[in-house]
Amino acid sequence: MKSEYPEVLYFSTNGKELLNKIIGKKITRMFHYYLGNENEFQQYLRDLPDDISCDQVFSLIEGPLLIEFNSGEEISFFADEHMQSIAFSYEKNEKGEYVNSCQFYTPQDLDNNPYIDVNDQKYSNDSMREFINKKIIDIELYRQTNVYPHSTYRISDAIIQFTFEDEGQMTLGYNIHSSTVMAVLPWKSVHLNIRDEINEVVRLSNDVTVQL
């Protein structure tokens, strides 16, 4: 796993076409990487912050989240602190081929970095596992309200939210939890104060983009 940003980097503002491709597909696997070596990772697990329980580590660990879909595609999501946003990168196409800008390999392909699997029985939980093998029917993109909508300095594409066929909602968010820059949580776990500070700007559904 490289430390620099991928060659091709997307945000809500320029990545709607890519996100549209996964409408109607299912998440099959998720891996949340730790930004550090194995020794640092083990130390982190031994000394978790007081407001993080063991079964929340998958959701709140610092590092990129890699999602694999039933189409074979893989997309990585991570925090871009300069833009105060969730950024994402296309890693693998439907043919199972890693693309030129590939940054984060699945552990099965390149196991050099610490990570937590969403299926981990100690460091993940049922609230996150319930999103596996469910069809995505809607993706909503949110922006923080304290930044100008068309700012090119800090675009603050703060949240990407997946809505599934059973109406469950999984949220990838920038600074939506006090213990981490990027978190992945059920929408119901996002604090009401955070919800009050964001505006929905785009809704993707059935290949239709609604600009709000």
Higher per-residue confidence, 202 vs 108:
202
Helix boundaries (H) for the chain:
16-20, 38-46, 57-60, 126-129, 192-195
The reply to whether 10 falls in a domain is no
pLDDT above 70 for 103: no
One DSSP character per residue, 61-73 reads -SS-EEEEETTS-
Domain annotation covers residue 198? yes
Closest CA to 155 of 6, 14, 5, 21: 14
In the chain, what percentage of residues exceed pLDDT 90?
Answer: 46
Domain that holds residue 45: 16-211
Q: What is the mean pLDDT of the chain?
A: 85
The answer as to whether 52 is a domain residue is yes
187 in any annotated domain: yes
Q: What is the pLDDT of residue 187?
A: 93
Q: Does the pLDDT of residue 212 top 60, yes or no?
A: no
Residue 54 lies in a domain: yes
Instruction: Between 170 and 106, name the one with better pLDDT.
Output: 170
> Span 21-29, mean pLDDT?
95
H and E: helices and strands count for the chain: 5, 11
Identify whether 9 is part of a domain. Answer: no
Domain count, the chain: 1
Span 142-153, average pLDDT: 63
